[in-house]
Amino acid sequence: MNIISFTDSPNFNDQKIVTQVLLETTFSKEIRILLKKGQVMKEHKAPFPIIIHMIQGKIDFGAEGAIHSLKAGDIITLDSNVPHDLSAKDDSIVRLTLSKLDTAERVVKVVENS
């Protein structure tokens, strides 16, 4: 058993989006993404389905030609290979659940290219 907190010690960075793998299980990777207000993750795709869970703040989540305003407590699922982007409206903590088959390095590259 592992116990983690997505809200303990969030070290936001004014210059870049911060990602951190907080937990890895036999079936998933749980990643914390910290976005300062105004930061953007440019359009990208995931090779496997993902789950986005808003822990804190607000983001605009663009996918399939629509923008979804997400707030703390909201969860959205996305199938594989669907282009999507994120834009922080407030300082935000996002929980990203990846398939075990996906890599955290891919997420880091998305952030670096945003």
Mean per-residue pLDDT of the chain: 95
pLDDT of residue 2: 85
Residue 99 has pLDDT above 90, yes or no: yes
Task: Identify the band that residue 7 occupies on the pLDDT scale cut at 50, 70 and 90.
Answer: very high
The model's pTM: 0.93
User: SS3 for 51-107, per residue?
Assistant: EEEEEECEEEEEECCEEEEEECCCEEEECCCCCEEEEECCCEEEEEEEECCCCHHHH
- Domains parsed from the chain with CATH numbers: 20-112 (2.60.120.10)
Residue 47 has pLDDT above 90, yes or no: yes
How much is the average pLDDT of 53-64?
97
Residue 1 has pLDDT above 90, yes or no: no
pLDDT digits (tens, 9 = 90+) for 62-90: 999 999 999 999 999 999 999 999 999 99
Task: Identify the band that residue 29 occupies on the pLDDT scale cut at 50, 70 and 90.
Answer: very high
pLDDT of residue 114: 87
pLDDT of residue 88: 98
3-state secondary structure of 30: strand
